[in-house]
Amino acid sequence: MKHEHELYDVTIIGGGPAGMYAAFYCGMRDMKTKIIEVGTELGGQVLLYPEKTVWDVGGVPPVMARELVNQMKNQATVFEPDLFLGEQVVDIQRDENQYFLLTTDSGKVHYSKTVILAMGRGVIQPTKLDFEGIDQYEVSNLYYTVQELDVFRGKKVLISGGGDSAVDWANELVNVAEEVMVVHRRDHFGGLERNVKRLKESSAILKTPYELHQLHGDSTAIQEVTIKHRETDHLETHRVDAVIVNHGMRGEYGPLAKWGIDTRDGRVAVNEKRETSVPGIFGAGNVVAHEGHVPLIAAAITDSVLAVNAAKRYLEPEATEIAMVSSHNERFASLSK
Ligand SMILES: Cc1cc2nc3c(=O)[nH]c(=O)nc-3n(C[C@H](O)[C@H](O)[C@H](O)COP(=O)(O)OP(=O)(O)OC[C@H]3O[C@@H](n4cnc5c(N)ncnc54)[C@H](O)[C@@H]3O)c2cc1C
């Protein structure tokens, strides 16, 4: 039975793409591994967009994010790391043996020889609308993430926002909804050029520079939305069946600053080996800051390889710099039988 007091070679904080791949790679390096994830399942941010098609992970054909998470979970658990879900790490200390003591919000203490920080942007929450009484519509037709495209089939959908997520969802929904209107406070859309071009060429109605002014509903759902031109103050009211708000996500690391790890631009500073300023603590994925950082799944995977290799060499300085590739790695011999 898994027990939080057992000593692990490595404890990974966060079960997104970086944490999941780190767990797999720790197995390749024969390390006793634990993942602590605050959510109730592995997947990280990718769980926010289960029905988006992901095209840009090397060697993986275009795949629905939900399926990608399943594949990553399968890979993460090949070497059976211990999983502690639903727990947020709130403190890291060191004991007299130089082992790390990780305390979670439930008061449990986990013991580990090394730590890999894979917390992404921390515990993330969407930036919500600030209209009075608006929360009641979150159970009917106000959405901050899209979990299922089919919910919007044949509907008039208004999307507020102009960044990556708004552009992506508009592109996905034009094929499903009766009408997609994108309301954005600037004329310029964020997001990948190719996706913005696709949006502009699509049937989506683009309202710029407009912003949400008022939402009109009854006790059950939003029925109309008034939008306002940011320069002329011109008002327009549109009937809607659903409103999707993509005004960004806010991440909370909690008391990370108190852990004594150097940070840069609010993230954990790491060197090219993904070592933090604290010996024995490493970082991977969106939580880290380094010259070559890109906020992509592919980059999180590379970070994880480097962080795990550095953790292995921290524990066993004579160990090889990288794991034997999978085709020659004896850890797979028993699995392939
Ligand atoms: C709408 C959208 C679309 C995207 N599309 C793509 C795409 O097409 N291709 C691509 O490559 N990337 C895409 N991304 C980005 C991609 O999802 C991220 O780069 C990736 O998820 C980062 O992985 P990560 O493991 O570093 O962090 P995350 O995925 O954020 O995972 C971090 C995990 O750590 C957990 N955690 C945080 N703090 C604690 C704590 N103290 N204790 C325990 N657990 C903790 C969180 O709950 C979370 O599960 C997209 C992102 C969004 C929002």
* SS3 labels along the chain: CCCCCCEEEEEEECCCHHHHHHHHHHHHCCCCEEEEECCCCCCHHHHHCCCCEECCCCCCCCEEHHHHHHHHHHHHCCCCCEEEECCCEEEEEECCCCCEEEEECCCCEEEEEEEEECCCCCEEEECCCCCCCHHHHHHCCEECCCCCHHHHCCCEEEEECCCHHHHHHHHHHCCCCCEEEEECCCCCCCCCHHHHHHHHHCCCEEECCEEEEEEEECCCCEEEEEEEECCCCCEEEEECCEEEECCCEEEECCHHHHHCCCEECCEEECCCCCECCCCCEEECHHHEECCCCCCCHHHHHHHHHHHHHHHHHHHCCCCCCCCCCHHHCHHHHHHHC
- Indicate if ligand 1 lies below 6 Å from the C-beta of 83: no
Q: Give the pLDDT score at 327.
A: 77
Q: Give the pLDDT score at 329.
A: 79
To test the pocket of ligand 1, the residue of 38, 45, 123, 290 to mutate (highest count of ligand atoms within 8 Å of its CB) is 45
Q: Give the pLDDT score at 336.
A: 62
- Indicate if ligand 1 lies below 6 Å from the C-beta of 288: no
Is 60 exceeded by the pLDDT of residue 337? no
Q: Give the pLDDT score at 221.
A: 96
CA 5 to ligand 1 center in whole angstroms: 28
Q: Give the pLDDT score at 3.
A: 57
Atom 13 in ligand 1: residue holding the nearest Cα: 296
Q: Which residue has the higher pLDDT, 328 or 216?
A: 216
Q: For the residues 91-101, what does the mean pLDDT come to?
A: 94
- Indicate if ligand 1 lies below 6 Å from the C-beta of 300: yes
CB 184 within 8 A of CB 161: yes
Instruction: Tell whether omega for the bond before 209 is within 30 degrees of 0, i.e. cis.
Output: yes
CA 72 to ligand 1 center in whole angstroms: 13
- Indicate if ligand 1 lies below 6 Å from the C-beta of 26: no
Rounded CA-CA distance 120/285 in Å is 6
Q: What average pLDDT is seen over the chain?
A: 93
* Residue pLDDT, tens place only, 20-78: 999 999 999 999 999 999 999 999 999 988 988 999 999 999 999 999 999 999 999 99
Q: Is CATH 3.40.50.720 the right assignment for the domain spanning 7-124+250-336? A: no
Q: Give the pLDDT score at 7.
A: 96
Q: For the residues 2-9, what does the mean pLDDT come to?
A: 80
Domain assignments of the chain as residue spans, ordered by start? 7-124+250-336, 128-247
CA 94 to ligand 1 center in whole angstroms: 27
What pLDDT band is residue 222 in, cutting at 50, 70 and 90? very high
At CA 172, angle to CA 166 and CA 174, rounded to 5?
A: 95
7-124+250-336 shares its CATH topology with 128-247:
yes
Nearest atom in ligand 1 to 53's CA? 8
Q: Is CATH 3.40.640.10 the right assignment for the domain spanning 128-247? A: no
The three state secondary structure string of 278-309 is CCCEEECHHHEECCCCCCCHHHHHHHHHHHHH
What pLDDT band is residue 306 in, cutting at 50, 70 and 90? very high
Is 60 exceeded by the pLDDT of residue 1? no
Q: For the residues 163-181, what does the mean pLDDT come to?
A: 95
Is 90 exceeded by the pLDDT of residue 220? yes
- Indicate if ligand 1 lies below 6 Å from the C-beta of 35: no
Q: Give the pLDDT score at 254.
A: 80
CA 286 to ligand 1 center in whole angstroms: 7
* Residue pLDDT, tens place only, 235-292: 999 999 999 999 998 888 887 778 899 999 889 999 999 999 999 999 999 999 999 9
CB 157 within 8 A of CB 244: yes
